[in-house]
Amino acid sequence: MIIMKKRIGVMTLAVGILLAASLAGSPAPAYADIVWDHWQKAESLSASGNNAEAVSHWQFLANHYGSTGDWENAALFCGKLDSYYDAIGDYDEAIHYYELENEYWVKAGKDWGAVKLQRADQIRTTVELYRQDRDQTAIQKLAMPKNGQLAKFEPAFGTYLGMYSEQDPKVGNMFAKTESVYGKKHAIYLAYAHWGQSFPAAYAKRAKDAGGALQIAWEPDDGLNPVTDGAYLRKWAQDAKAAGIPIFLRFAGEMNGAWVKWHGNPAQYIAKFRMLHDVFASDAPNVAMVWSPGDVPANDIDPYYPGDAYVDWVGVSLYIEPYENGDPSLPSMIATSSVERLTRLYNTYSDRKPLMLSETGVPHYSHSTEEDFTEWAKLNLQRLYEIMPYKYPRLKAITYFNVNQNMDNAKNNYSLSSSSDIQNYYTKLIANPYLLSKVADSAKPADGIGYVPVDAAHQSFTKQTKFIPFVKIPEVYIGKVEYILNGRVIASQTELPYGLQLRAGDVPEGSVLQIRVTNKSGKQVALRTFGISSQVSVEIDGKEQIFEQAPVIVNGSTLTPLRAIFEEMGATVAYEAVTKTVTAVKGNTTVRLTLDQKTVYVNGQAVQLEEPARLVNGYTLAPARFVGETFGGKVSWEGTSRTVTITRK
């Protein structure tokens, strides 16, 4: 049985704190007259409703107290400024002061600024761009830990697809039904267990029958004291091993939250977690230990970390909802997305451990207000299953909490199958092979395609690619996303999910792609420019070649890597640096060419090239047709995908 915990959100918590802080006394008469004058004028103007004229006084006071190290007063005046700028829609200035206020609260030794950072994220305009990539070396580099060693069951790249389905009327705990309902097998199924109860063997068998792994949320309902090494634990471990499937063991999750009985003693928690790790390492090596806090309260997370040697995966329970705890009387949370809420945990632990969303969900209906949030859910489901795995390549698993939650608190419908619209949309999103259906060490997507950010290091693509924008605006709902290539609008989207396919032939080197965003009122709210290019690709007998130096086009001629292609064709290649001469031999054919000269010799006969061979970044490149045909290949050019095709005769 799942017991949902009422969580005190950071906004609710901060309201009382900031009200108390705002009652701090005025500066003593010993303060310089100018400071007192600014304070009094600001109070008078604000009291009369003239906040615009109070701004200059608040700015003076925030700067003054910040320069003197009076962090609390500096934070309080920043609070007045960020609230003012937020109210008038000057979001850039509001974000500046929200972040500055948090900085001052941190310097004051308080965590009261967390709510302000949350609000800054809500109103921040974001336009990022990601794209498909076939270069597995580049993809895996982004997805690897700093030490280069994958964790237990960690995929090389890609993200495991997981689900808690027991309360889904179309699936229940018959996990094998998942494929027929949602169009795809899932890699991980979630079950709950309680300390003192036997290993959930029935769930493990059903996961095995479905071809999946099992995530077990193991909860010590009576606290940590009963958690000891003994006959019960050893039998539990033996049964886990006998299950014969990968098991992700999430012991005592959300330990940073006061709503669980195992909260409050980090040292004891760490000792128990380490003990369990050692038992399972010796008795059940098919178990990966998952340390999984909640994403809030953020400042209570790190003290509970058991250490790298005892943690296989770092998980997190991370939910978003339109109203905090389902209560519409609290500040709206509709502008919050899961993307930003993972950032802190990801930045802290991803260099060392793979991350998983142990529990997550996006509601499409609020029972407390009887409001439909289908459009909001679609927006955030795309962020969950497309943007987050691409933005955070060390995010290696997502387990969706598939529940219609109609309880006293947190009244949200996260159920995927209770809405045919949401069910179909989810099915469309998860069809992406990047979302993996099978747990295995070093797993990869079946199509070998990964995703990279479009930045200075990842501008160029071959053949064709799909671009996926991450767009977030303060108004939340997006009216239109336009794609402008080299000054011309080539596509416009008003329906989710957002994304654009482009062919290499449409994107010459040095192209510019702009993403223009309008809100529901038709007002442009964002415009961002990205440099993109396509590269020539080479196929030999249908196999795409991967080169350290990509082909280039010079004066209309395509130059391709000579050594790599000659060797793939079966020739031996030698280079004489003094004379800058390349000699290649295959059977009865000998080729000699000199860099920067158009004349080459094939078995002593002179042949003229349209462009001379040359060094590019230390690699010898020569015209593609000459390189492909010299040793008996047939060369053709496909302009749409900018592909040189070489077929050996």
Q: What is the DSSP string of 120-179?
A: HHHH--EEEEEEEE--HHHHHHHHS-TTS-PPTT--SSSEEEEEE-TT-TTTTT-GGGHH
Q: Give the model's pLDDT for residue 563.
A: 93
The pTM (predicted TM-score) of the whole model is: 0.90
Q: Which amino acid is residue 85, in one-letter code?
A: Y
pLDDT tens per residue across span 514-556: 999 999 999 999 999 999 999 999 999 999 888 888 898 889 8
From CA 62, how far away is CA 370, in angstroms rounded? 43
Report yes or no: 644 and 624 within 8 Å, Cβ to Cβ.
Answer: yes
Q: What are phi and psi of 383, to 5 degrees?
A: -60, -40
* pLDDT above 80 for 216: yes
The edge-to-edge listing of strands for the beta sheet with 619-623 is: 552-554, 557-561, 619-623, 614-616
pLDDT tens per residue across span 36-93: 999 999 999 999 999 999 999 999 999 999 999 999 999 999 999 999 999 999 999 9
In this prediction, residue 20 has a pLDDT band, given cuts at 50, 70 and 90, of: very low
Query: What three-state secondary structure class fits 10?
Result: helix
Separation in Å, CA 519 to CA 230, 479, 494: 60, 4, 10
Of 468, 477, 480, 467, nearest to 524 by C-alpha is 480
What residues contact 341, with CB distance under 8 A and at least 6 apart?
121, 295, 318, 320
Query: What three-state secondary structure class fits 521?
Result: coil
What residues contact 96, with CB distance under 8 A and at least 6 apart?
82
Query: What three-state secondary structure class fits 315?
Result: strand
In this prediction, residue 407 has a pLDDT band, given cuts at 50, 70 and 90, of: confident
In this prediction, residue 197 has a pLDDT band, given cuts at 50, 70 and 90, of: very high
Query: Average pLDDT, stretch 7-28?
Result: 41
The strand pairing partners of 553, in sequence order, are 558
Q: Among the residues of 33-162, which ranges form H helices? A: 33-47, 51-68, 71-87, 91-107, 114-123, 136-143
Residues known to be catalytic:
254, 359
The strand pairing partners of 127, in sequence order, are 471
Query: What is the sign, positive or negative, of the torsion defined by CA atoms of 603, 604, 608, 609?
Result: positive
Residue 191 DSSP symbol: E
In this prediction, residue 33 has a pLDDT band, given cuts at 50, 70 and 90, of: confident
Q: How would you classify residue 297: left for phi > 0, otherwise alpha for psi between -120 and 50, otherwise beta?
A: beta
* pLDDT above 70 for 4: no
- Two tokens, residue 459: 């501008």
Q: Give the model's pLDDT for residue 111.
A: 85
Q: Give the model's pLDDT for residue 292.
A: 98
In this prediction, residue 32 has a pLDDT band, given cuts at 50, 70 and 90, of: low
pLDDT tens per residue across span 339-392: 999 999 999 999 999 999 999 999 999 999 999 999 999 999 999 999 999 999
Q: What are phi and psi of 75, to 5 degrees?
A: -65, -40
Q: What is the DSSP string of 537-551?
A: EEEETTEEP--SS--
Mean pLDDT score across all residues of the chain = 93
- Two tokens, residue 618: 């230390």
100 alpha carbon, distance to own chain's centre: 26
Separation in Å, CA 444 to CA 131, 243, 389, 425, 447: 17, 24, 14, 24, 8
450 membership: H or E segment, kind and range:
strand 450-453
Of 25-29, 424-428, 490-494, the poorest mean pLDDT is in 25-29
Q: Give the model's pLDDT for residue 523.
A: 96
Query: What three-state secondary structure class fits 112?
Result: coil
From CA 375, how far away is CA 407, in angstroms rounded? 23
Q: Give the model's pLDDT for residue 330.
A: 87
Report yes or no: 417 and 402 within 8 Å, Cβ to Cβ.
Answer: yes
- Two tokens, residue 423: 């069910």
* pLDDT above 60 for 323: yes
Q: Among the residues of 303-402, which ranges form H helices? A: 338-341, 343-349, 374-382, 388-391
In this prediction, residue 485 has a pLDDT band, given cuts at 50, 70 and 90, of: very high
Query: What is the sign, positive or negative, of the torsion defined by CA atoms of 258, 255, 105, 80?
Result: negative
Q: Give the model's pLDDT for residue 130.
A: 98
From CA 252, how far away is CA 364, in angstroms rounded? 29
From CA 180, how far away is CA 159, in angstroms rounded? 21
